[in-house]
Amino acid sequence: MEQKIIKPYHLFNHQGSWYAINVQEMSAAIIDDATAGMLETINTEQPVRIESHTEEQLKEFIPVVNMSLFLTQSCNLRCVYCYGDGGKYGDGGNMEEKTAFQAVDWLVEQSGKIKKLHIGFFGGEPFLNFSLMKAVVEYAEKRVQEVGKQVDFNVTTNGTLLDDHKIAFIKEHQISVMISFDGPKEIQDAQRPYANGEGTYDDTVPKIKKLLAVLPETPVNAVIVGNTDCQLVKVGLQDIGFTQISIVPASESLFNGEIDQAKLSRDIRVLLQALEQEAEAWIDLIKSRNCAALKCLMVKSGLYEGLIALLHNIKRYYGCDAGRGLVGVSCTGDVYLCHRFVGQDAYKLGSVFEKDLNREKYQESPATTTGVCAACFARYYCAGGCKHDNVCSSGSITTPAEDMCRLRCRQLELAATVVGRLGPDDRAFLVEQQIFPPKPCPLDF
């Protein structure tokens, strides 16, 4: 296999200071002009070669241990950016109990020697088929006990169907919940209306607050369309009571339904501006030892992942585990690359009624085998990005969207500007206050 030749250092100037990212070591430092010149010479004269044997090692198949189960392919909302064809993912329908139980049995078999399994309930809106959710939880808990394994559950929901009974069930079985909600009333109602066109904010917020009263750490994921102000979204979600907030730009859909793709033109400038402000906030709050504000920033940060990656020298080889340890299972039992690809035949891997999966091509690491990624300084941070987003933008799972490349690269650069300005006392403070985890010892197994 052809060797990839890359620059060992990424050099950039931010606010008049030079910074260097050691690409292979995943570390960062602030440097002076002389050092910047020396490292640029090294970049030119001593490029690094990624050996092909590393790529071969990364092709090893890993067991499937994480399954997104589509209890239903229908939804009570009509989000303007839905990548799942209004929640139908093409064919629509509800999963039958025998298919769901077979999926659990299939996961147990696929997991091999791995003891911990993960089942996610997805849709559409999974609480539209709450009776099946309860049956699957009961069956899976019994099944793993029989074979000496463990299982945990998660659910992604729009929150519109939450009630006391469902919340009690969630708490009893320790189901991790991800709420999909887009912020203040005017944004939520415009982007995530009911199927009849009516707004969802007023109906849903009281239900979400009931959930947060029981599970206050429940995270929320908001989607940005166009040039929506990220700060406005964050404030709106904090007003509801969320403390763990993630914001992502909308992805396009692979379905040719009634979705108006023109509505989905995303403008990452607002996200980039928010990241620039966040980088300075990290430094200001660290230097002032504002622990409370830092902990608040930590749970809604766009830079936290990059900060930890550079401080702990973490190298990622895959943007996600799709097609490897994770799959999506449609309501008919077909197995797909991940939940986002359900209904797309080109990304069907097999069926829960069959043993073998066609997933060999998804085992290679984009960080070492894909031209655009292998030559990128952020390859061990981004590692190729979201496969679904890649296909929507470029037609290929291995070619990332240009705008997302810019966003992820800038995330790593800005994380480097923070890390480069941290002294030993700053780092000790962050670990002591449990804002950053301690770096794992390499001898810990």
Q: Residue 239 falls within a domain, yes or no? A: yes
The residue among 314, 332, 351 that closes a domain is: 351
Q: Which residues pair with 180 in a beta bridge?
A: 221
What is the predicted pLDDT for the residue at 443?
Answer: 54
pLDDT tens, N- to C-terminus, the chain (445 residues): 445 677 899 999 999 999 999 999 999 999 999 999 999 999 998 877 665 444 444 556 789 999 999 999 999 999 999 999 999 999 999 999 999 999 999 999 999 999 999 999 999 999 999 999 999 999 999 999 999 999 999 999 999 999 999 999 999 999 999 999 999 999 999 999 999 999 999 999 999 999 999 999 999 999 998 888 888 999 999 999 999 999 988 888 898 644 444 444 567 888 899 999 999 999 999 999 999 999 989 988 899 999 999 999 999 999 999 999 999 999 999 999 999 999 999 999 999 999 899 998 888 888 887 778 888 999 999 999 999 989 988 888 888 888 889 999 999 999 999 999 999 999 999 999 999 999 987 655 4
CB atoms within 10 A of CB 362: 21
What is the predicted pLDDT for the residue at 374?
Answer: 85
Whether residues 161 and 20 fall in one domain: no
Whether residues 74 and 216 fall in one domain: yes
Whether residues 121 and 173 fall in one domain: yes
Return the beta strands (E) in 81-193 as ranges.
116-122, 150-157, 176-180
What is the predicted pLDDT for the residue at 186?
Answer: 97
> CA-CA distance, 61 to 13, in Å (whole number)?
41
Whether residues 210 and 347 fall in one domain: yes
Dihedral sign from CA coordinates of 142, 143, 146, 148: negative
The residue among 351, 377, 409 that closes a domain is: 351
What is the predicted pLDDT for the residue at 445?
Answer: 41
Say which amino acid occupies 287. Answer: K
> CA-CA distance, 65 to 150, in Å (whole number)?
11
What is the predicted pLDDT for the residue at 292?
Answer: 94
Give residues with Cβ within 8 angstroms of 41, minimum separation 6. none
What is the predicted pLDDT for the residue at 3?
Answer: 53
Whether residues 46 and 88 fall in one domain: no
Whether residues 25 and 124 fall in one domain: no
pTM of the entire structure? Answer: 0.87
Q: Which residues pair with 12 in a beta bridge?
A: 19
The pair of three-digit structure tokens given for residue 445, joined into one six-digit string: 């197994």
Whether residues 151 and 100 fall in one domain: yes
Instruction: Give percent helix, percent strand, percent coil of the chain, each to the nearest 5.
Output: 45, 15, 40
What DSSP letter does each residue of 223-242 carry, written as one string? EE-TT--HHHHHHHHHHHT-
Domain count, the chain: 2
Q: Residue 154 falls within a domain, yes or no? A: yes
> CA-CA distance, 117 to 108, in Å (whole number)?
8
Q: Residue 110 falls within a domain, yes or no? A: yes
Whether residues 277 and 234 fall in one domain: yes
Give residues with Cβ within 8 angstroms of 404, minimum separation 6. 249, 268, 385, 386, 389, 393
Q: Residue 81 falls within a domain, yes or no? A: yes
CATH code where residue 135 lies: 3.20.20.70
> CA-CA distance, 207 to 203, in Å (whole number)?
7
Q: 324: domain range?
A: 66-351
Q: Residue 370 falls within a domain, yes or no? A: no
Q: Residue 400 falls within a domain, yes or no? A: no
Whether residues 195 and 337 fall in one domain: yes
Whether residues 101 and 45 fall in one domain: no
Return the beta strands (E) in 91-147 as ranges.
116-122
Q: Residue 379 falls within a domain, yes or no? A: no
Whether residues 154 and 15 fall in one domain: no
The residue among 351, 375, 410 that closes a domain is: 351
What is the predicted pLDDT for the residue at 158?
Answer: 98
Whether residues 14 and 157 fall in one domain: no
> CA-CA distance, 333 to 243, in Å (whole number)?
36
Q: Residue 363 falls within a domain, yes or no? A: no
